[in-house]
Amino acid sequence: MSYSTADSLPTVTLDDVRGAQKMLAGVARVTPMEGSRHLSGLVGAPVHLKCENLQRTGSFKLRGAYVRIAGLLPEERAAGVVAASAGNHAQGVALASSLLGVHSTVFMPVGAPLPKVAATRDYGAEVRLHGQVVDDSLAAAKEYAAETGAVFIHPFDHRDIIAGQGTVGLEILEQCPEVRTIIVGMGGGGLAAGIAVVVKTLRPEVKVVGVQAAGAAAYPLSLAAGRPVTVENPATMADGIKVGRPGDVPFQIIEQYVDEVRTVSEDELSSALLLCLERAKMVVEPAGASPVAALLSRPETFEGPVVALLSGGNVDPLLMQRILRHGMAAAGRYLAVRLRLTDRPGALATLLGVLSVVDANVLDVSHVRTDPRLGLTEAEVELHLETKGPEHCAEVGAALRQAGYKVIG
């Protein structure tokens, strides 16, 4: 992409980001950079993880929210602020408002994870549950702003928000001056835009790669069309980047400065989250793991040293449990099989003996005896197994077939 077109200069400058960095001194943490031996081995060059999951409120969102609210006029602060979010932006606005002595109201979907709702309240916001999805909450927040005069704090489509998020880019260049590629997850685009402004101004040779979930990938379509395009009904477990339409302000910056946008699948996100937990000892939400998912998908295509940004760690424990199981299945370490056997004493013990020989760990067993599809002497068994990888899964399947069992699912 070109970086010299005079009539398409970004609306956020390096000076804006440096001003935001001064404003955030003592408020936002300078988060650590951790090396990853495993990812470095895959890429064939050093890979570092920028750990914004360790930021206050558990994500980068505090940076932009604080800069935006701190920049309000006294009369605007007196009117309070309002936001809509399912989690990270809500917590960032709540804490920033509390630190600045501004009343905040946050609209969240009725189904928002309880830990995120509780955390938002604990940071000082008045939480109102409205609608089933964030778009419903967003409409309610804008209506509230129109009725009360409260200032609406957009999660990504404002220059102050982008400047605040861009401070992550300054830290990356300070902590890893030899970096050649920076990978960042993208939803509306505020974080990627802020980082890109910094990197392409100070180090234009460094490549900036954005990552979106395949089921919510509005940027590839938008960049191809030359304008923000809406993806109807975006679907992904990565709620932090589940955005149907790019922001107008970040879009023009990303169009000019971001080198490439890639997409990752749900399986790749699950595997990345599992890797972060096991290898890096990092609790990361799916959106925060998206850069790692891109690395796992095509490690040979990245020039190192690489910095992958772990943008957040706010994941609901129940969702984490489901994702880890999904990730283990995607990595060939979890196998669910259904088969039929003769319903007689000792039949289950014989089956378990076959699994013992191939060293498959049985996590759960369930029986069905009353299904009309079954014969009078048949039972259906569903087994959940812990395995050691794809080759071991194949070995388990072969052992069951060799023993005369018909695997039906």
Q: Which residues are catalytic?
A: 61, 311
Where do the H-state alpha helices sit in 203-285?
A: 218-225, 248-257, 266-278
Beta bridge partners of 51: 310
Size of the chain, expressed as the number of residues it contains: 409
Q: In whole angstroms, what is the distance from residue 1 CA to residue 255 CA? A: 8
State the SS3 of 363-380.
Answer: EEEEEECCCCCCCCCEEE
Cβ burial of 195 (10 Å; 0-12, 13-18, 19+) is buried
String of b and e for 147-164 (b: at least 16 CB within 10 Å)? Answer: eeebbebbbbbbbbbbbb
325 in helix, strand or coil?
helix
Helix (H) or strand (E) run with residue 78 in it: helix 74-79
Report which of 161, 262, 252, 168 is spatially closest to residue 211, judged by C-alpha positions: 262
